[in-house]
Amino acid sequence: MSEAVQKAIDEKFCSECGAIIKAKAEICPKCGVRQFGPPSNLGALAPNGKSKLAATLFAIFLGGFGIHKFYLGSIGWGIVYLLFCWTFVPAIIGFIEGILLLVMSESDFSRKYGST
Ligand SMILES: [Zn+2]
């Protein structure tokens, strides 16, 4: 009895009005609102120019030296990481922080680190 709304594989719901539109559509033909890109938009930058991808790579590969802390503006923590880099503990913490940055959404990253 109920008329279920079915969308094809190459279709998606509009992020604004919920209308079924083509998956590749950038602007909804129904309401004219621009669609958000895919969630794994690694190339995006926060309002202050910080890159989540860069921070993630710094944390994973150079986390032991606190490079990602310096990059994200936590200079004090960066120095702490640098002082204890010989213990390898910062490297492990940095790696975990890199994973957390990796799974963090762009909007969360911008909210947390993007402010100038
Ligand atoms: Zn729409």
Q: Which two tokens stand for residue 20?
A: 């079924």
Q: How far apart are CA 82 and CA 47, in angstroms?
A: 28
pLDDT given for residue 67 in this prediction: 97
pTM exceeds 0.75, yes or no: no
Give ion ligand 1 contacts, CB < 5 A. Answer: 14, 16-17, 19, 28, 30-31
Residue-level pLDDT, tens digit, the chain, 116 residues: 555 667 888 899 888 899 999 988 889 999 999 887 654 445 677 878 899 999 999 999 999 999 999 999 999 999 999 999 999 999 999 999 999 999 999 889 989 998 76
pLDDT given for residue 35 in this prediction: 85
Q: Which two tokens stand for residue 83?
A: 């002082």
pLDDT given for residue 40 in this prediction: 45
Question: H-type helices in 1-88, by residue range?
Answer: 52-62, 67-71, 75-83
pLDDT given for residue 26 in this prediction: 87
Q: Given the structure tokens 């621009």, which residue do they identify?
A: 34
Tell me, in angstroms, the distance from the centre of ligand 1 to residue 33's CA.
6
- Phi/psi at 61 (5° precision): -95, -30
